[in-house]
Chains A and B, each alone.
Chain A
Amino acid sequence: MLELRSVSKHFGGIVATDGVTLDVRPGEVHALIGPNGAGKTTLIAQIAGDLSCDSGAVVFEGADVTRAAQHERVRAGLARSYQITSIFGRLPVLDNLALAVQARSGSSFSFWRPVASESALADEARAIAAEVGLAGREDAVAATLAHGEQRALEVGLALATRPRLLLLDEPTAGMGPEESQAMVALIERIRAQVAVLLVEHDMDAVFRLADRISVLVSGRVIATGVPEAIRSHAEVRRAYLGEGAGA
């Protein structure tokens, strides 16, 4: 459903992604792992449309979206979450999610009718809040949430766009073990409805969730395969997992 054809990005003389070719199949959780600075976040940004591609193509569900604006890709069903939490801090949780629902339901060039009269938006936002474990916190101002709750809202915002492919950039970043468990459980729940491209450092989570894993080192994919294959891949072990890791 997603196909990357030798996607590259350079920042000045620094090569962030270097001819990445990758595919995500319908219904799969595809994990993207690699050491810090490997280009994982850059690649997510290129797929989502935050960053342009110097060369190569991004094909989503058969359509070339390489030149499409980010909001167009979101409308096509390609949504992302951010490694560094990016929410509407001064708005309540419910308004955060309702905005994302609003973005895909009807025109927002409506200047007169109070949005509060549209109960469908709030109802759906409430359902998403419950889905990501924020039931009962709908009225809390987003910036006042605990870190784990903000991470849940971060993923909730992406989910609320009702994507067909969800790009999750380190959803468990900075989380404690319990919160991580909850996030893994959330991904387990949603994987039936949406394909996921998951950037993650927590190897337990990766090996538990992933159908396939791609390893990115210095902007290049050095291996793609099922978890067992990656675990035993000599080059991967040398470059990334290191001695004893993944055991």
Chain B
Amino acid sequence: MQRYAPLAVLVLALAFPLAVQEPYYLSFASRIFVYALAATSLNLVLGYGGMISFGHAAFVGTGAYVSSIFLAEGVASAWIGWPAAVAASALAALVIGAVSLRTRGVYFIMITLAFAQIVFFLVNSMKAYGGDEGLSLPARASTGLPVDLGSDVVFYYVALAALAGAVYGLHRLADSRFGRVIEAIRENEARAEAIGFPVYRYKLACFVVAGAVGGLAGVLLASHGKYVNPNVLHWTQSGTLMVMVILGGVGRLWGGTVGAAAFLGLEDLIANHRIDWLAAWLPDYQQHASLGVGAVLLAIVLFAPQGIAGAFARRPRA
């Protein structure tokens, strides 16, 4: 049955816009897909590669900003802006990774965080593109095809396709030669080197692939809201993505997707659905949605350390 579960979810996701006309929920679902894509890319480095990167927002933000700058400069075609944004994110990952991956453990966590903050302040100071106020986009990119990204339904399917492609790609990667090598490195880095793998090169490649996919998530994120501001690069954004991965399941194929859906769903639930008995007790609890998310995260870490996806999986992993 478990084999068909992803297919069933995909069919449901495909049918969703037909069943639910409400623009809010369509937009909300698209947002989940975009964050799921970002969290899935982080899961590749964090869960599969065992590299605790605390700066993933740098790549999401680079993708978001580069694609937005293309639009702001009047280059409307998605065929130019989007690949350029993904390439810029990959390049950023190459540079940041090349330096950061020389370190290990807590130093790696700190140096990736530091790099992301550098990019954050850099973008903050780009007055030409809104500085700390951000950049509003006149419209989404155009494709030149009878596919109008401006339509929220079309955007929904594009985001879904990107996520589905990423999850399938991750599935293929995990069982490929490359996937085996990064698994071996995560398990025992010294031994991986001692049987002849150039460990550094594999880790860097993994980091760059994740950065590029994170960049695509950033492109979609900016495109989704037709707006981007430096907060997309803030360190708390890296933290949010990490929380999503941990919620969903570190090193699990569906970890990023499940985590993003659980995180955003919970946040929305707390903020938009007033529970009367709770409100009678704590009148302004809805202003503290992150407290609720924190409590759930704590419960997951304590009672289901493999994450939500892990709790439902047949075989243990990672």
Residues of A within 8 A of B (CB): 48, 50, 69-72, 74-75, 79-80, 82, 86-91, 95, 98-100, 102-104, 106-116, 118, 157-158, 160-161
Contact = CB atoms under 8 A, between A and B. Distances in A.
B188 A86 contact: yes
List the 4 closest pairs (A to B, CB-CB), nearest first.
Answer: A74-B196, A103-B196, A100-B195, A108-B177
B14 interface: no
Nearest to B202: A108
Nearest to B195: A100
A71 B198 contact: yes
Contacts of A99: 180-181, 184, 192, 195
A109 B193 contact: no
B175 interface: yes
A50 B176 contact: no
Interface in B144-198: 169, 172-173, 175-181, 183-184, 187-188, 190-198
Contact of A160 (B172, B175, B179, B195): B195
B262 interface: no
A187 to B, nearest CB: 19
Given A98-B180, A99-B195, A113-B177, 15 more contacts: A69-B198, A70-B194, A71-B196, A71-B197, A71-B198, A74-B194, A91-B187, A95-B180, A99-B181, A99-B192, A102-B180, A103-B195, A103-B197, A104-B196, A113-B176
Contacts of B198: 69, 71-72
B187 A80 contact: no
Contacts of A114: 172, 175-176
Contact of A110 (B177, B183, B197, B199): B177
B205 interface: yes
A112 B188 contact: no
Contact of B179 (A50, A87, A103, A115): A115
A113 B180 CA distance: 12
Contact of B178 (A71, A79, A98, A109): A109
A116 B191 contact: no
A114 to B, nearest CB: 5
B193 A70 contact: yes
Contacts of A107: 177
Contacts of A116: 175
B3 to A, nearest CB: 16
Contacts of B193: 69-71
Interface string B107-142: 000000000000000000000000000000000000
A75 B197 CA distance: 9
A194 B87 CA distance: 47
A157 B199 CA distance: 16
Contact of B190 (A50, A79, A115): A50
10 contacts: A88-B191, A99-B180, A100-B196, A106-B177, A107-B177, A109-B178, A113-B176, A114-B172, A114-B175, A118-B177
Given A86-B191, A99-B181, A102-B177, A112 B196 contact: no
A50 B194 contact: yes
A86 B179 contact: no
Nearest to B316: A90
A114 B180 CA distance: 10
B4 to A, nearest CB: 20
A88 B181 CA distance: 11
Given A102-B177, A110-B178, A87 B196 contact: no
A79 B180 contact: no
Contacts of A75: 196
Nearest to A81: B194
Given A74-B195, A160-B195, A111 B190 contact: no
Contacts of A74: 194-196
Contacts of A79: 194-196
With most chain A CB atoms within 10 A of its CB, the pick from B169, B193, B195, B202 is B195
